[in-house]
Structure 1
Amino acid sequence: MKPTHSATIKDVAKKAKVSIATVSRVLNNLTGYSDKTRQKVMEAIKETNYQPNAIARGLINKRTQTIGVLLPKVSVQFSSDILQGIGEYAQSHDYSVIVCNTDADGSRTLKYLQVLREKQVDGIIYTSEVLKPEYYEVIQAMKIPVVLVASESPYASVPYVKVNDWQASYDAVTYLIGKGHRRIAMISGTEKDPIAGRPRVQGYLKALADHGIPFDSKYLVHGNFLFDGGYRGMEEILQKAPEVTAVFAASDETALGVLSAAAKHGVKVPQDLSLVGYDNVKLAQMSVPALTTVQQPLFAMGQVAAAKLISMIMTGVVAENQLVPHSIVERETVGTIGND
Structure 2
Amino acid sequence: MATMKDIARLAGVSTSTVSHVINKTRFVSEEISERVNNAAKELNYAPSALARSLKMNRTRTIGMLVTTSTNPFFGEVVKGVERSCYHQNYNLILCNTEGDTERMKASIDTLLQKRVDGLILMCATLAGEKLDIFEQYPSIPVVVMDWGPMHFESDKIQDNSFLGGYLATKHLIENGHKEVGCITGPLNRHQALMRYEGYKKALKEHHLVINPDWIIESDFECDGGAKSLEALIERGPLPSSLFVCNDMMAMGALNIAHAKGIKVPNELSIIGYDDIHIAKYMTPSLTTIHQPKYRLGKAAVETLLAKIDKTDLALMWFNSSRH
Bin of the TM-score, shorter chain as denominator length: 0.7 to 0.9
Shift of 1:23: 2.8
1:76-91 matches, within 5 Å, as 76-91=71-86
Aligned to 2:158: 162
- The superposition leaves residues 230-256 of structure 1 with CA deviations (integer Å, 9 ceiling, x where unpaired) of 001111112214231111111110100
Q: Check whether the contact 1:12–1:23 (CA below 8 A) recurs between aligned residues.
A: no
Among all aligned residue pairs of Structure 1 and Structure 2, give the percentage whose two residues are the same amino acid.
Answer: 26
Larger mean CA deviation between 242-251 and 9-18 belongs to: 9-18
1:1-340 matches, within 5 Å, as 8=4, 11=7, 15=11, 17=13, 20=16, 23=19, 27=23, 33=26, 36-37=27-28, 46-47=37-38, 48-49=40-41, 51-104=46-99, 106-129=101-124, 130-135=126-131, 137-142=132-137, 143-153=139-149, 157-193=153-189, 195-316=190-311
Letter in 2 for 1:176: L
Q: Check whether the contact 2:272–2:289 (CA below 8 A) recurs between aligned residues.
A: yes
CA RMSD across the alignment = 2.9
Q: Check whether the contact 1:219–1:241 (CA below 8 A) recurs between aligned residues.
A: no
Q: Check whether the contact 2:63–2:116 (CA below 8 A) recurs between aligned residues.
A: yes
Distance (whole Å) between structure 2 residues aligned to residue 176 and residue 9 of structure 1 = 71
Where structure 2 has 5 or more consecutive residues not aligned to the other structure, the ranges are 314-323
- The superposition leaves residues 90-142 of structure 1 with CA deviations (integer Å, 9 ceiling, x where unpaired) of 1222322222222336342212212222322221101153454422x323422
Shift of 1:78: 1.1
Distance (whole Å) between structure 2 residues aligned to residue 38 and residue 127 of structure 1 = 45
In the superposition, relative to structure 1, how do residues 43 and 139 fare at CA in structure 2: closer, same or farther (>3 Å)?
A: farther
Q: Check whether the contact 1:69–1:125 (CA below 8 A) recurs between aligned residues.
A: yes
In the superposition, relative to structure 1, how do residues 40 and 26 fare at CA in structure 2: closer, same or farther (>3 Å)?
A: farther
- The superposition leaves residues 286-324 of structure 1 with CA deviations (integer Å, 9 ceiling, x where unpaired) of 111111101111112112211221232233289xxxxxx
Higher helix share: 2
Larger mean CA deviation between 203-212 and 42-51 belongs to: 42-51
Give the match's secondary structure for 2:86. helix
Distance (whole Å) between structure 2 residues aligned to residue 45 and residue 242 of structure 1 = 78
Letter in 2 for 1:92: H
Runs of 4+ in structure 1 over 6 Å off:
38-42
Could you tell me the TM-score, scaled by structure 2's length? 0.84
Give the match's secondary structure for 1:81. helix
Distance (whole Å) between structure 1 residues aligned to residue 31 and residue 148 of structure 2 = 45
Distance (whole Å) between structure 2 residues aligned to residue 141 and residue 28 of structure 1 = 34
Distance (whole Å) between structure 2 residues aligned to residue 24 and residue 51 of structure 1 = 15
Distance (whole Å) between structure 1 residues aligned to residue 97 and residue 162 of structure 2 = 26
Letter in 2 for 1:77: P
Distance (whole Å) between structure 1 residues aligned to residue 63 and residue 165 of structure 2 = 30
Give the match's secondary structure for 2:271. strand
Where structure 1 has 5 or more consecutive residues not aligned to the other structure, the ranges are 319-340
Aligned to 1:328: none
Give the match's secondary structure for 2:298. helix
Q: Kindly tell me the number of residue pairs found equivalent between the two proteins.
A: 307
Distance (whole Å) between structure 1 residues aligned to residue 14 and residue 169 of structure 2 = 64
- The superposition leaves residues 65-108 of structure 1 with CA deviations (integer Å, 9 ceiling, x where unpaired) of 22111111334311110111111111222322222222336342
Q: Check whether the contact 1:152–1:159 (CA below 8 A) recurs between aligned residues.
A: no
Aligned to 1:330: none
